[in-house]
Structure 1
Amino acid sequence: MSADRFRIEHRYLELPHTFYTRVQPMPLKGARMVCFNQQLAADMGIHSDNPDDWTAIGAGAELLEGMDPVAMKYTGHQFGAYNPELGDGRGLLLWETVGPDQRRWDWHLKGAGITPYSRFGDGRAVLRSTIREYLCSEAMAALDVPTTRALFMVSARDPVQREGVETAATLMRVAQSHIRFGHFEYAAYHQGEEALRTLIDHTLELHFPDLLNQPEEDRYRLFLEQVVSRTANLVAQWQALGFCHGVMNSDNMSIIGDTFDYGPYAFLDDFDAGHICNHSDQGGRYAYNRQPQIGFINCQYLARALAPVMNEDDLRRAMRQYELSYNDRFPRLLRAKLGLEQELDGDVELIMETFNLLHEFRVDFTRFFRGLSTLPSQGTAPIRDLFVDRSAADSWLVRYRERLAQETRSEEAREAAMCATNPKFILRNYLAQQVIQEAQNGDYDPMHKLLAVLARPFDEQPENEDYAALPPDWGKHLNISCSS
């Protein structure tokens, strides 16, 4: 291990001490390095000939010089109800590093043990949930969706009680920032205006430095506008990929617009606009078709927290950015998925007609759009075969081809662009479940293989065709809970 290519900092400790508690990790027994993200490590300026050198750090048994572990304190709205008792209940922020490209990285060890914010939990993460987060954060990065990342993962022998007895694991999650909407709610409702201003100014300096060049009276409004816009753009990307987050609580919303906290997520298989991927979400608050609305509601929670330091007109002006950003980004993403280079009247109707078709016939979301991408080279069979009622597909294809006739781009160019937009390989829940079952038996090779496939989601990869197959019946709509 060498620090000659990255700089060590811990700027979070500049915040008032009420925003964190120093906590030492609780070491795991029999730790084993499962996955080490060499490419990400290189991007961060880390070079290590032996990933096992990091095992003791992942196990909470060793700290490098400069690491000063803290559990962050925040609050937030969970399923619409404000909870003042939140904070890092099983994770610790170890330090921050700045890589050769000057990008800042927080290092957050998930599963590090009990903290003052664990409530009645044990502070551990289990192998199952740790694998799911590693897989999905890396899959999302390959899909060019803003996300936290997985630097490495360690498994251990320690037993952890959930629905049954499972084994412990840790994940070194890294991100440009771990500050959440809930940090601002905590500052506003529990620490007062001075602490709130301190938190905003800290966030501006580290993550929105361009705003420091703006007139002081405009900075907070522009900050909220950017956060709201980034959130709307992120949710638009989720919707365009058929991704369900599952737990869009305000403490799971990143202030910089990353996909944050992978729990009971799902990429849609058979398209159901009202799909609920979280077993614990009995009311369907975080169903797929409600995600855009929930993103807006979470931005309202943030705006409400900023009210002590902003005037009402600026708050309203900033919040308008959500609808403007979403209504710009989502149609553009869908036009790209449909191969429509020009923006014409009637495109929104075609988009809605497409979603209605997929919903009515429960068509596989990812395979439909990939089949559409290869229409010039492979014909209609990959699309029609997804429908029980082929005539419904044929009727829609007539309408779609009429719209394509108004395009000027060649079929070859359109196919290449669509294949670079519509992934062939996504992280289906059944693929993750298969990997988890093998890992629980001590075999991590399937996890490494799946990660390699997901790293190239837009490529054909004919040798990995099985990973793009329709899920088996048992693999559809798997129940995933918040338990980790």
Structure 2
Amino acid sequence: MPVSPTYRPSRAHMDLGSVFYDPVAPADFPQTLLRYRNDRAAATVGLDTLTDEEWRAHFGRFIPLPDSLPQPLALRYHGHQFRVYNPDLGDGRGFLFAQMHDAVTGRLMDLGTKGSGTTPWSRGGDGRLTLKGGVREILATEMLEALGVNTSRTLSVIETGERLARNDEPSPTRACVLVRLGHSHIRIGTFQRLAVLDERAAMDRLVAYVRDTYYPDLAPAPGQSEAAALFGAVCERVATTGAQLMAAGFVHGVLNTDNIAITGESFDYGPWRFLPTYDQSFTAAYFDHAGLYAYGRQPQALGWNLARLAECLLPLGTLQEFQVALESFATTYQKQLNIQYLRRLGLQHQPDADVPEIATPITEFLSRARVGFENFFFDWYGGANSTQRAMNGPRASFYDRADFAPVRALFDAFAGRQPTQAYFERHDPVTMLIDQVEALWSPIAESDDWGPFHATLGNIAGLRAVYGVP
């Protein structure tokens, strides 16, 4: 049986019309060697029952899934890249392959690709993805999901037997094709394209589609336009995801408007990094010379991108209502940042009470002490309940400092979860720093040894258990 009874296919994106996409053919790869299949993610959309042969056929050869999209669609969009407008974007090495509904939530989900071949939007590129790039995206999405970030998930990585030339890694290098499972591939850049081309009818259609599909419970306030209500809801989701990324110590690297999904979900991971220690200026992309998307500037980048979305929607509402919604982004972000810090530390507060300011005193300490970012959350999960564990651990000297006193006082003010999971029997947390990523890639590149990679995924499963991620 190729799909499970919970599989519910859709062709919803086709309803938007051909102005939004170009039907394309996938590349014909020399081989399809299955390197990674995420059955946890596949089970949420009824695809976990596929045999490996069927898996390779659908996610390596891109034979259409039953009753979903009959042909891959390369999506059209524009975008600001490092704040420079580029009208020549669009899916250049990927496409929307299929859509289906989540078996539990009913949400519409997309299967999008990376490295699946050239399209009309390839801009001279080869449309391919390196195997190292695929491995890095698996590690990013697995770690972010475990930490509770609203992220796309890597569903599949298949090695394709091609050898690629790249300037940023030893070449020739192995190639792969990746499939991600995500909640929409509509981006701020999708709206920007229609605004620049003055496609008003298509814009109206897109707004209605996004509202009905991704924000079905949205109810405008009295006198508020539907476009402004939608914009406000997008701001809230983006602010929440931004706070989650910051609490995870994650630097996306390329927060361009074409990389901001209209659902607020984080996706498309290229030059990402996790913080070694708390550092507002820490930058992921080697080509981000000005530090535009440095760790501490990510909230500002998200707000700037949302302002570009407001410009696209302005003909559908009033300037004042969009300004009010945009101003709420900062308030929502700060509230969510404190919520995320509480969650990361396993601290509890009354749901109906004001969210306490906890992020600032913690980040002030982390900035001065330079203790490992993820190490801190590992040592102090559960707050005061972890005092003995932290003070007997390898980083006790950091917590003997006088400037740790305000943080300790915070812990004493909250009830904390008990750190009873097997994960806390470790001396150190699971981390995903750049040197560790390189160390996981080296045995794959040198001797096709995937053992350390799979062992790391097993360790990340322990982190998921801590935060209750299924």
TM-score (norm 2): 0.88
Secondary structure, counterpart of 1:168 in structure 2: strand
Aligned residue in 2 for 1:451: 457
Secondary structure, counterpart of 2:291 in structure 1: coil
User: What does 1:399-478 correspond to in 2, within 5 Å?
Assistant: 399-405=406-412, 407=413, 409=415, 413=417, 424-440=429-445, 441-457=447-463
User: What does 1:312-323 correspond to in 2, within 5 Å?
Assistant: 312-323=319-330
Aligned residue in 2 for 1:288: 295
Aligned residue in 1 for 2:93: 90
Aligned residue in 2 for 1:119: 123
Contact 1:205 1:212 in 2 (8 A): no
Contact 2:114 2:177 in 1 (8 A): yes
Distance of aligned partners of 1:377 and 1:93 in 2 relative to their CA distance in 1, 3 Å threshold: same
| Partner deviation per Cα, 1:315-373 (whole Å, 9 max, x = no partner) | 1121122012012111233345566645999964x743432332234321111222223
Contact 1:364 1:386 in 2 (8 A): no
Q: 2:311 aligns with which of 304, 320, 325?
A: 304
Q: 1:328 aligns with which of 330, 335, 339?
A: 335
Q: 1:110 aligns with which of 106, 111, 114?
A: 114
1:385 CA displacement: 4.6
Aligned residue in 2 for 1:377: 388
Report the residue type matching 1:128 in the other structure. K
Aligned residue in 2 for 1:149: 153
Distance of aligned partners of 1:309 and 1:396 in 2 relative to their CA distance in 1, 3 Å threshold: same
Aligned residue in 1 for 2:360: 352
Moved more, 219-228 or 376-385: 376-385
Secondary structure, counterpart of 2:95 in structure 1: strand
Distance of aligned partners of 1:109 and 1:401 in 2 relative to their CA distance in 1, 3 Å threshold: closer
Report the residue type matching 1:354 in the other structure. I
What CA distance in whole angstroms lies between the structure 2 residues aligned with 1:346 and 1:98? Answer: 34
Moved more, 293-302 or 47-56: 47-56
Aligned residue in 2 for 1:269: 276
Aligned residue in 2 for 1:133: 137
1:49 CA displacement: 5.4
In the alignment, structure 2 segments of 5+ residues that lack a partner are none
Report the residue type matching 2:367 in the other structure. H
Asked if residue 253 in structure 1 is aligned to residue 260 in structure 2, the reply is yes
Matched residue pairs, number?
449
Asked if residue 364 in structure 1 is aligned to residue 368 in structure 2, the reply is no
Report the residue type matching 2:51 in the other structure. N
Sequence identity of aligned pairs in percent?
29
What CA distance in whole angstroms lies between the structure 2 residues aligned with 1:168 and 1:386? Answer: 45
What CA distance in whole angstroms lies between the structure 1 residues aligned with 2:188 and 2:464? Answer: 33
What CA distance in whole angstroms lies between the structure 2 residues aligned with 1:127 and 1:443? Answer: 14
Aligned residue in 2 for 1:464: none
Moved more, 214-223 or 121-130: 214-223
In the alignment, structure 1 segments of 5+ residues that lack a partner are 461-484
RMSD of aligned alpha carbons: 2.8
Contact 1:372 1:383 in 2 (8 A): no
Distance of aligned partners of 1:278 and 1:61 in 2 relative to their CA distance in 1, 3 Å threshold: same
Report the residue type matching 1:449 in the other structure. A
What CA distance in whole angstroms lies between the structure 2 residues aligned with 1:82 and 1:21? Answer: 22
What CA distance in whole angstroms lies between the structure 2 residues aligned with 1:99 and 1:327? Answer: 30
Secondary structure, counterpart of 2:218 in structure 1: helix
Distance of aligned partners of 1:396 and 1:25 in 2 relative to their CA distance in 1, 3 Å threshold: same
Distance of aligned partners of 1:438 and 1:233 in 2 relative to their CA distance in 1, 3 Å threshold: same
| Partner deviation per Cα, 1:425-462 (whole Å, 9 max, x = no partner) | 233323322222222232223322222221221668xx
Contact 2:219 2:229 in 1 (8 A): no
User: What does 1:44-193 correspond to in 2, within 5 Å?
Assistant: 44-48=45-49, 50-60=51-61, 62-65=63-66, 66=68, 67-101=70-104, 102-163=106-167, 164-193=171-200
Distance of aligned partners of 1:51 and 1:246 in 2 relative to their CA distance in 1, 3 Å threshold: same
| Partner deviation per Cα, 1:277-334 (whole Å, 9 max, x = no partner) | 1111011000001011111111101111111212111211211220120121112333
What CA distance in whole angstroms lies between the structure 1 residues aligned with 2:141 and 2:234? Answer: 21
Distance of aligned partners of 1:12 and 1:414 in 2 relative to their CA distance in 1, 3 Å threshold: same
What CA distance in whole angstroms lies between the structure 2 residues aligned with 1:144 and 1:229? Answer: 17
Moved more, 330-339 or 106-115: 330-339
1:384 CA displacement: 4.3
TM-score (norm 1): 0.85
Report the residue type matching 2:101 in the other structure. V
1:269 CA displacement: 1.1
Distance of aligned partners of 1:117 and 1:365 in 2 relative to their CA distance in 1, 3 Å threshold: same
Moved more, 216-225 or 81-90: 216-225
Secondary structure, counterpart of 1:210 in structure 2: coil
